[in-house]
Amino acid sequence: MRLFPRLLLNHLMCVVVTSAVLLAAAELAAQPFIGHHVDAMVRLIGPQGGGLRGDLTHGMRDTLTRALLAALPLALLVATGIAWVSARRVTASVRTLQSGSGAIASGEYARRLPEGGQDELADLARSFNTMAGALERVEQTRVEMIGNVAHELRTPVSAVRGYAEAAQDGILPAGQALDAIAREVAGMERLVHDLSLVSRVEAGRLDLSVVDVSLTDLLSQAQDRFALAFEDRRVTLQVDPPPEPLTVRADPERAQQVLANLLRNALRHTPPGGTVRVSGRAEGAGAAVSVTDTGSGIAPEHLDRVFERFFRADAARTRGEGSGVGLTIARGLARAMGGDLSVRSVPGQGSTFTWTVPLHQPAPGPRPD
């Protein structure tokens, strides 16, 4: 049996049972009520009224029963109408939800349900719309990611084909063409590696080896690693270690990845003659590492999206420089190690990315006797 007939039948059963209970209760309650009034009438009539007691009682009970039976069909008719309307409303909402879920299942993620009302059905519609919006965003991200990956791979693939054809036609020496092809392949390998890392970070399948490590050592290693790159771009790299020794809890390799992605991003957006400053300090129960550049900054409407995969505020200028997922990886690694990564920026003045990382917590000493 379908939902509407079942709901209507359940409502009608409730109406019938309730009416029977009310009729029985009225009959039971009528006995003392009728007896009280019959006694009053007998006392009013006098001694000759005693013989009328039975007739009076029967007549009043018969009148009450007839009145109840006469009102019962009308009550059943009204209750049936109310039950029909209620069942229709519930089944209409279920059909709407069924239609919406079918549309979502077929890929129509823009489908939404009407949210009128304040009852549980309206709450269900609002929850459905929230789910549909989340699925729509996921699908949009998936489509954008596929397009971005295709775009990122198109350039090196085209370059590899061009170098191979140039070598075949004798335009380029074979050795020079092979070197160029190797560079393009290495770039594609970096992209594939970064995408694999992003997927593992977002899925929580990243293996970490968190140990106690000196924050000063981490900053010094990053400075040594990027000194030549900054020198080639004529950008000053200034590293300010924390004023006091700080021991943080982090995976040293992953921590270097976070710093590397932040420094590459800063170098990419800082013009020649600019400065990138890296500083470390204690902050509450953790440590904070700030990477500040003197680049063009980030527009306020883009701040919430800079950690999205492949998002570029200035796609024309940065396309081809990096894989487009460096900041996504950096934030994912920071959070996997118990910290976080945030950004603040003033357009035209530069940006500051702040990585927070937990401090080493010394083990409690023995309690005094």
* pLDDT tens digits for range 116-135: 767 777 788 888 888 888 88
Query: What distance in Å separates the CA atoms of residue 247 and residue 243, rounded to the nearest whole number?
Result: 13
Q: What is the pLDDT of residue 317?
A: 42
Delimit the CATH 3.30.565.10 region(s) of the chain.
211-358
Query: What is the pTM assigned to this prediction?
Result: 0.59
Q: What is the pLDDT of residue 316?
A: 42
Q: What is the pLDDT of residue 304?
A: 80
Q: What is the pLDDT of residue 17?
A: 80
Q: Which residues lie below 8 Å from residue 16, measured CB to CB, with a gap of 6+?
A: 76
Using CA atoms, how far residue 22 sits from 57, 65, 72, 100, in Å, is: 21, 12, 10, 43
Q: What is the pLDDT of residue 285?
A: 81
Q: Any bridge partners for residue 293, and if so which?
A: 276
CATH architecture of 211-358: 2-Layer Sandwich (3.30)
Delimit the CATH 1.10.287.130 region(s) of the chain.
121-203
Q: What is the pLDDT of residue 4?
A: 63
- Strands of the sheet containing 340-346, edge to edge, are 236-240, 275-283, 286-293, 350-358, 340-346
Q: Any bridge partners for residue 288, and if so which?
A: 281, 356
Query: What distance in Å separates the CA atoms of residue 82 and residue 316, rounded to the nearest whole number?
Result: 64
Query: What distance in Å separates the CA atoms of residue 129 and residue 123, rounded to the nearest whole number?
Result: 10
Helix (H) or strand (E) holding 280: strand 275-283
Query: What distance in Å separates the CA atoms of residue 104 and residue 94, rounded to the nearest whole number?
Result: 15
- pLDDT tens digits for 64-96? 677 767 777 777 777 777 777 777 777 777 788
Using CA atoms, how far residue 366 sits from 46, 130, 363, in Å, is: 100, 52, 9
Q: What is the pLDDT of residue 319?
A: 43
Structure tokens at 153: 């791979």
Q: Which residues lie below 8 Å from residue 254, measured CB to CB, with a gap of 6+?
A: 206, 208, 333, 336, 337
- Report the top-level CATH class of 121-203: mainly alpha
Structure tokens at 134: 């989340």
* Per-residue pLDDT of the chain in tens (369 residues, 90 and over written 9): 565 677 667 767 777 787 777 777 766 766 666 666 666 666 666 665 555 556 666 666 677 677 767 777 777 777 777 777 777 777 777 788 888 888 888 888 888 888 776 777 778 888 888 888 888 887 877 777 777 777 777 878 888 888 898 888 888 888 888 888 898 888 788 778 777 877 787 777 778 888 999 999 999 999 999 999 999 999 999 999 998 889 999 999 999 999 999 999 999 889 999 999 999 999 888 899 999 999 988 888 888 888 887 776 654 444 445 557 888 888 989 998 999 999 999 888 899 999 999 987 665 555 554
Q: What is the pLDDT of residue 322?
A: 55
Q: Which residues lie below 8 Å from residue 152, measured CB to CB, with a gap of 6+?
A: 191, 310, 323, 324
